[in-house]
A and B are shown apart, each in its own frame.
Chain A
């Protein structure tokens, strides 16, 4: 099945710094989502971005489907950005139904 790799596994920032999280995937996809998992475990949808670029406030994301990667940018980080960021993809193959395959996540810690 499709493989998803996220980097870096851990990231520690000072408040106000910028960061880039990367997601590489091994095959064609027709769905790519970025999530933020808060300390209570809730998965919060950040972006639905199978291709192209989107922005939402301090966050933006770019997916280059032909080169099989996606980037999540966080600018002017805040302590509330701390948590785990997941990339999840749905393979474009006909048998993958709606299944999302998740990466292992990037643990982000923002210090005041």
Chain B
């Protein structure tokens, strides 16, 4: 079954802790993305990667970091510098980054800061 998996589904974090959200895809897509969704809002782009070992900041990258060491994996770290990290985080992938290409989304991770 081809698709995008995210883990964990729910995550609770104490203030001051870093946490890492996992995103894996077996669609053989080159490009991967991280979005954040706040209640009642659309999605906003945090980071994206068009190819292995390359990634770029999106619109709201402050307080987040990523890595892209393998084509199928794009983990997101929410650092203690992120002032308001409680949100729903969605990972996406597409066949390529440049040019028009349909994006597909994983099931998401709900992060709550206690």
User: Which A residues are within 8 Å of any B CB, using their own CB?
Assistant: 4, 30-31, 33, 35, 40-43, 45, 48, 50, 86, 88, 90, 97-100, 102-105
Contact = CB atoms under 8 A, between A and B. Distances in A.
A100 B45 contact: yes
A48 B58 CA distance: 22
B85 interface: no
A43 B88 CA distance: 12
Interface in B54-87: 56, 58-59
Nearest to B42: A102
Interface string B39-50: 011111100101
A100 to B, nearest CB: 6
A104 B43 CA distance: 8
A59 B41 CA distance: 24
A48 B92 CA distance: 15
Nearest to A47: B102
Given A4-B42, A42-B108, A43-B90, 11 more contacts: A31-B101, A41-B37, A41-B110, A45-B104, A86-B42, A98-B33, A99-B33, A100-B103, A103-B42, A104-B41, A104-B42
A90 B107 CA distance: 22
B70 to A, nearest CB: 19
Contact of B107 (A4, A30, A40): A40
Contacts of A41: 37, 88, 90, 107-108, 110
Contact of B100 (A30, A35, A40, A86): A30
B42 A105 contact: yes
Interface in B3-43: 31, 33, 37, 40-43
A99 B45 CA distance: 7
